[in-house]
Structure 1
């Protein structure tokens, strides 16, 4: 065993660690003065100030939340005003069609049933009508012996 060597012995764990470890993913953050972390004061007057400050922040957060809700309600009202709901009967398919249409552009936003389903129903209805006409023109006579 070499005592004079500067290399650590095999199996030893190095616990020395730099206090200012910088990570590659770390981002430098600059906080506003109000949000900076500080040592709490030991006297009771300081804690009353901190409680008031926390209450002020909570009230400010509540106001911000209320403003956001009001803004979202206004947006929803605007969207409701710009959209029109229609119920129409599709004669070819023989079903009711529920549509939501943009009033300004006339574009169909939503529709139930889908356009493809309406086409399939119209086709099936037309084929059934043709079969009924053929059956009326050429009645089948079955002979039983």
Structure 2
């Protein structure tokens, strides 16, 4: 069985899941993840919104060392594989920091188109595969 690391952040297990954010009906600020109070105007006028599935990488790096606690991945310092991390612009709505499925610096490009996906992160104490969200490059042939 699979589960999301935080079920409230996405519409998974839908076939084409979306990240869930909030938009303020007073000042139009959009945030991720869902929040009760607007960080811009402090009003409690937030409404849930599905964020776009596709975006553009505006900044990236690679994580070359095992993250510290409370990281839930199954890797050890010996089995850890570096992964890409990016700042992804979702339309003209919001920028989201996320894991990237690509970790090769030669293949990561500023401005590259990416799409939301869910990837395995680790296994919880009950033996369930834990998923997290990530963005994968969009095939240029589409």
TM-score normalised by L of structure 1: 0.19
Return the structure number with greater relative CO, CA threshold 8 A, min gap 6: 2
Structure label with greater radius of gyration: 1
Larger strand share, 1 or 2? 2
Larger helix share, 1 or 2? 1
